[in-house]
Structure 1
Amino acid sequence: MTTKTPIATLGIDLGKNSCSLAGMDASGTVVLRRRMTREGLIKFSAALPACVVAMEACCGAHYLGRTFEGQGHTVR
């Protein structure tokens, strides 16, 4: 992870080949911006402390939502 500020909310824009991430701290300040594959996203989120994960509803969102909940995150 490239930031020492804890991420309170992780926003994810799901794409066909890659996902764009925006991590925000408790005050809503963006502390992380990154693009990665879905496989990389799952590995990255496993290393994060529990946080709120917000993403759009699309065909792959249910699988990722269950994966993130299994890692201890709150999915919205």
Structure 2
Amino acid sequence: MEITTVGIDLAKSIFQVHAVDAAGHVVVRKALRRAQVVPFFA
């Protein structure tokens, strides 16, 4: 599983994270609260 593209939908309190691999298959689809964003990517 190698993530090639990450998209983030920025909102007021919930951020949607969407990541796909080279073939375009969804690897990650997750809703994060503001406080969870930095720890998720760290």
TM-score by length of 2: 0.78
Deviations 1:23-63 (A, max 9, x none): 111222211110001221111111xxxxxxxxxxxxxxxxx
Please identify which structure carries the higher helix content: 1
The aligned length equals 42
1:34 is matched with 30
Q: TM-score, normalised by structure 1?
A: 0.49
Percent of paired sites with the same residue: 38
Q: Whose RCO is larger (CA < 8 A, sep 6+)?
A: 2
Once superposed, what is the RMSD of the aligned Cα atoms? 1.1
Structure with greater proportional strand content: 2
Unaligned runs of 5+ in 1: 47-76
Runs of 5+ consecutive residues of structure 2 not aligned to the other structure: none
> In terms of Rg, which structure is larger?
1
